[in-house]
């Protein structure tokens, strides 16, 4: 699944950037820190969108666990006639 691979890659990148901010060089320029922080937030937003996509897709996809096959047309007519008393 391509989206799951993308999500996994984004999460790895996010962890890498957080690690860079927390354990990286102490003399990292303030502008670079802000860029890294912004990138982390953008990645988090993309991951949220992927999660929302999966949630919406799962909710909109009906799950039919029945193994029943549709009855043939003639059988449907006969059942309706029996119900109507004809």
5-9, 46-50, 69-73, 75-79: segment of lowest average pLDDT: 69-73
12 has a pLDDT exceeding 90: yes
9 pLDDT higher than 90: yes
If residue 6 lies in a helix (H) or strand (E), which one and from where to where? helix 2-23
How many angstroms separate the CA atoms of 74 and 1, rounded? Answer: 42
Mean pLDDT of 40-61: 90
Tally of structural domains, the chain: 1
Give the global pTM.
Answer: 0.65
Domain that holds residue 54: 1-86
């Amino acid at each position: 699944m391509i989206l799951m691979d993308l999500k996994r890659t984004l999460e790895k990148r996010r962890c890498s950037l957080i690690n860079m901010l927390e354990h990286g060089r102490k003399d990292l320029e303030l502008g670079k820190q802000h860029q890294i922080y912004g990138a982390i937030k953008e990645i988090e937003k993309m991951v949220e969108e992927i999660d929302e996509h999966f949630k919406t897709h799962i909710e909109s996809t009906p799950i039919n666990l029945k193994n029943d096959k549709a009855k043939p047309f003639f059988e449907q007519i006969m059942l309706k006639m029996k119900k109507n008393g004809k």
